[in-house]
Every structure is written in structure tokens, then in C-alpha cells.
Amino acid sequence: MKILGYIAGILLAICSLPQVYKVIKDGNSNGISIWFLLIWVSGNISMQVYVINTRGWDFPYLISAWFSDICIFIMLKYKLYPRK
């Protein structure tokens, strides 16, 4: 089951890579709502706090969440500071 957890974590983590690639290539994230990004990162961080406090360091989930956070912050950066 642990291997299945890692596979799920990796797949969930990489599902945002095509969007991050497009945002970096375009230099902006105009097609993405700021509210979507803020709600996504708020939910992600809240879930991480919950998981750590109830299940300890559940690495398959946390690896996915941390990677997701990085992707979200890249998209937020280009939302707030688009490349000219």
C-alpha cells in the first residue's frame, strides 16, 4: 500500500506540470483565476497541517503537497508579476 501511496503522490504532484510549463513559457498566468490559486494553496497548506497533526509525517501525501505548493507559488508569481 505504501508503494501505491507514493505512485498516487507522484501522479498528483506532476498533474500541474503542464500548466506550470505553459505559465513559464507565456510569462504570465492570465488564464488562471487568482482566487483559484489562493483557495488551492490555502486548502493544500491546511491539509498538510491536518495530516502532520493526525497521521504524522505521511511522506507520500506530503511529497505531493510540497511539490504542488511549489507549482502553485510559480503560478502565483507569474500572476502577480507577469514577464513583460
- Tens digits of residue pLDDT in 9-41: 788 878 899 999 999 999 999 999 999 999 999
Fold observed for domain 2-80: Monooxygenase (1.20.1280)
Greatest distance between any 2 Cα atoms in the chain:
47
Cα 18 from Cα 59, distance rounded (Å):
24
Radius of gyration of the chain (CA): 14
H-type helices in 1-84, by residue range? 2-14, 17-26, 34-55, 59-80
What is the spatial distance between Cα 63 and Cα 47, in angstroms, rounded to a whole number? 13
Percentage of the chain surpassing pLDDT 70? 100
Average of per-residue pLDDT values in the chain: 89
And the C-alpha cell for 33?
A: 483565476
Report pTM. Answer: 0.83
pLDDT, greater one: 35 or 4: 35
